[in-house]
């Protein structure tokens, strides 16, 4: 008879994953199991389990692990309104992540941010622009966030039938968006209507549609329960209602917060047991070793620990961590993909599509190089690396600041001069005179202002006086004084702002003829900006957030009710609306129509229109479809986004666009949090932004009850 293999079942790649998990856990002690439920999981030599750190980041490129392609920050990616591009970017990121991981393992480097389990994307809703981490999100709208999030998760996790490429981790679940300084103690109170209408839809989509294999719980409490130990969130909704079959990881230190800051329980043993019993399998932190004592105290059954650690090893098996490389298709991705030419071009295209033209009076843009002999590039973000990369970033092989991009684009035909003008935040005017003198002697002044992730971000990652959030939406320091001084010279002035969320640039909107917003545009940001300024690329980005005139127009930051927030519910005048953005061309919408006038409540509504580029420049256009419920029985949004499509149209070209509005998008959310399709009249708008008063862009349909 042939000799039988001595290989244990859990190391046999031909065995079913559940059998491998059961075999491995059966060989482990309770202390060993608990040790594997911390983000830094130690090696267990006797079982051949290598050490592993579950913490890796990739919001807009592989982060904190050396060289990588740096794409525009997440808020900039949302500005593209392009799910196909997002899928391509996530695929590129996961290629680089796989290649880097296998290179790290080859050298026995298993440290933080060098694994295959990524704590991205951030799909929290940017309900308030003061939130420092808003830059990490896809903006204020649940539908746009869901569509971009689904594409990103799919690109990270891959489509192999047996192996995962990476594990994606949508975060922070749920009802989480500042203030940063209160996140460890705060109870975010949400109505059932807001919970289901605003805070949960993107998470549901990433679980149901993209099969996200991990979810990160938030620091805060939601309606009294700690998010990382909430039966309502983790058991009732996530697993029972949505069918989630992956693992939940706590935000870092969140289990510690349960007993030391939220004071829901008194001891680490109680906190660990509460979290694991309610479905949080992995602790970013140091509390879960207390599970050993918690079992002895009868706070949690060892079988529950087995179930939790089993989910973690299931993912490690599906990632191929215990299999030879020849069996894992993603192990063959070469290291040469890291920041390769293909990915650098993709970063440039993403930066192109992320730039938003906010104003272009008298068609000052694009600039005509033949009419310019010299130009001044002025401002604190003109030569700023920080303004390119945002937060949670990698390190590109090369990058283009705004100054470098402009210089490379026009030199030697045009003389390019640079002046700092003002520092980001300092209350000093010492550099303004030099900038004014420069502007007076050049043909055009390009003023590049804003903030960076040094002034907005996560608690602990920026200066202590703001805890990561902003107190105001105004330009900090003496930047507006600088801008006014440059404008007063009479030199044609273009303003470029860079930030991770909205800025209140009211004076600029009234006085500066051309304004662009570039977010944190990644490694190719300066190249992309120059291409847009000089017409080598026709801009078409659309705002994923509302630009308000002042933070004073908003409710208190700590108020999580959606009343008077975002384009759906805000009652005042805004500076630039959600979905807004100009192009260098013109577009005509015609023939907006539904397939029929009456629809049953269970039917999707099919609408279409024709879009024509009536200008002389080939250009992208973001077609947006909104719906208004005209006869709702409860509070509903003024309008809500239910579809979008990015087109690229040559001058004179026309295309038909069709949207199928599903029952989910048609339904209102009532005060009990139920999705209900009510009979009545609905108005549907298709255009380049939010609904216009022009009725030719709208069609009314009637939804009728069915027996």
Q: Which residues are catalytic?
A: 251, 456
The secondary structure element, H or E, covering residue 305 is helix 302-318
Residue 274 backbone phi and psi in degrees, to 5: -60, -45
Q: Tokens standing for 30?
A: 């309770």
Give Dmax over CA atoms of the chain in angstroms: 94
Gap between the Cα atoms of 323 and 266, Å rounded:
42
What one-character DSSP code corresponds to residue 290? G
The answer to whether 150 touches 142, Cβ cutoff 8 Å, is no
CA 418 to chain centre: 33
The C-alpha atoms of residue 598 and residue 582 are separated, in whole angstroms, by 35
For residues 70 and 389, is the Cβ–Cβ distance under 8 A? Answer: yes
Residue 602 Cα distances to 34, 142, 607, angstroms: 48, 22, 16
Instruction: State how far the Cα of 17 lies from the Cα of 312, in Å rounded to an integer.
Output: 12
Q: Are 384 and 451 in contact (CB under 8 A)?
A: no
Question: 83: how many CB neighbours lie within 10 A of its CB?
Answer: 19
DSSP per residue, 199-213: ISHHHHHHHHTT--S
Closest CA to 121 of 147, 82, 99, 85: 147
Q: What is the per-residue burial (b if ≥16 Cβ within 10 Å, else e) of 620-647?
A: bbbbbbbbbbeeeeebbbebbbbbbbbb
What span, in angstroms and rounded, lies between the C-alpha atoms of 72 and 524?
8
Residues 6+ apart with CB under 8 A from 574: 546, 547, 548, 549, 567
Fill in the DSSP letter of residue 238: I
**How far is 113 from 119, CA to CA, in rounded Å?**
10
Q: Residue 609 in contact with residue 688, Cβ under 8 Å?
A: no
How many angstroms separate the first and last alpha carbons of the chain? 69
Beta strands in 469-511 (DSSP E): 493-498
């Amino acid at each position: 008879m042939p000799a039988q293999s001595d290989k244990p079942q859990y190391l046999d790649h031909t065995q079913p994953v559940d059998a491998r998990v059961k075999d491995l856990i059966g060989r482990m002690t309770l202390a060993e199991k608990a040790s594997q439920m911390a983000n830094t999981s130690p090696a267990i030599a006797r079982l051949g389990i290598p050490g592993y750190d579950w913490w890796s980041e990739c919001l807009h490129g592989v982060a904190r692990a050396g060289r990588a392609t740096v794409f525009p920050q997440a808020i900039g990616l949302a500005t593209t309104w392009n799910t196909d591009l997002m899928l391509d970017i996530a695929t590129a990121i996961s290629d680089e992540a796989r290649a880097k991981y296998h290179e790290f393992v080859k050298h026995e480097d298993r440290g933080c941010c060098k694994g295959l389990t990524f704590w991205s994307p951030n799909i929290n809703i940017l309900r308030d622009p003061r939130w420092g981490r808003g830059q990490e999100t896809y903006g204020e709208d649940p539908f746009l966030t869901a569509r971009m999030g689904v594409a990103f998760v799919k690109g990270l996790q891959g489509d192999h039938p047996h192996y995962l490429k990476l594990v994606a981790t949508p975060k922070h679940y749920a009802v989480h968006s500042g203030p940063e300084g209160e996140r460890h103690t705060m109870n975010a109170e949400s109505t059932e209507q807001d919970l289901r209408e605003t805070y949960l839809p993107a998470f549901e989509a990433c679980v149901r549609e993209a099969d996200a294999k991990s979810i990160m719980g938030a620091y805060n409490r939601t309606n009294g329960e700690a998010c990382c130990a909430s039966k309502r969130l983790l058991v009732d909704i996530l697993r029972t209602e949505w069918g989630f079959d992956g693992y939940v990881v706590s935000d870092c230190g969140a289990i510690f917060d349960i007993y030391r800051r939220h004071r829901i329980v008194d001891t680490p043993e109680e906190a660990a047991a509460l979290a694991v019993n309610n479905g949080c399998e992995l602790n970013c932190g140091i509390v879960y070793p207390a599970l050993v004592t918690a079992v002895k105290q009868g706070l949690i059954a060892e079988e529950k620990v087995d179930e939790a650690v089993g989910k973690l090893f299931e993912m490690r098996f599906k990632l191929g961590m215990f299999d030879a490389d020849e069996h894992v298709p993603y192990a063959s991705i070469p290291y040469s993909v890291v920041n390769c030419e293909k990915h650098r071009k993709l970063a440039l295209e993403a930066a192109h599509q992320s730039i938003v033209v906010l104003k272009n009076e008298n068609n000052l843009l694009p600039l005509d190089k033949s009419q310019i002999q010299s130009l001044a590039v002025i401002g604190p973000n003109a030569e700023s690396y920080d303004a390119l990369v945002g937060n949670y970033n990698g390190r590109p092989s090369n990058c283009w600041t705004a100054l470098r991009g402009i210089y490379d684009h026009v030199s030697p035909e045009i003389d390019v001069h640079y002046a700092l003008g003002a520092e980001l935040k300092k209350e000093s005017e010492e550099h303004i005179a030099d900038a004014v003198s420069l502007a007076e002697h050049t043909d055009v002044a390009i003023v590049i202002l804003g903030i960076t992730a040094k002034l907005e971000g996560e608690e602990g990652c920026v200066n202590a006086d703001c805890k990561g959030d902003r107190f105001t939406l105004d330009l900090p320091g003496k930047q507006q004084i600088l801008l006014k001084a440059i404008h007063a010279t009479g030199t044609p002035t273009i303003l470029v702002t860079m930030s991770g969320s909205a800025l209140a640039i009211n004076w600029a909107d009234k006085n500066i003829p051309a304004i662009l917003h570039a977010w944190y545009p990644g490694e190719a940001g300066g190249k992309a900006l120059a291409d847009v300024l000089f017409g080598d690329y026709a801009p078409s980005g659309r705002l994923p957030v509302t630009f308000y005139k002042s933070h004073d127009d908003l409710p208190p930051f700590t108020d999580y009710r959606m009343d008077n927030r975002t384009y759906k519910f805000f009652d005042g005048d805004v500076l630039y609306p959600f979905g807004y953005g100009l192009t260098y061309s013109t577009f005509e919408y015609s023939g907006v129509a539904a397939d029929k006038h009456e629809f049953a409540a269970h039917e999707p509504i099919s609408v279409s229109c024709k879009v024509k580029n009536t200008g002389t420049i080939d250009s992208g256009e973001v077609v947006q479809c909104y719906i208004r419920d005209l006869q709702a029985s409860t509070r509903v949004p003024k309008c809500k986004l239910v579809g979008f499509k990015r087109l690229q149209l040559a001058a004179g070209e026309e295309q038909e666009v069709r949207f199928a509005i599903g029952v989910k998008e048609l339904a209102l959310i009532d005060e009990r949090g139920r999705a209900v399709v009510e009979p009545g009249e609905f108005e549907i708008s298709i255009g380049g932004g939010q609904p216009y008063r022009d009725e030719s862009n709208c069609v009314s349909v009637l939804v009728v009850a069915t027996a």
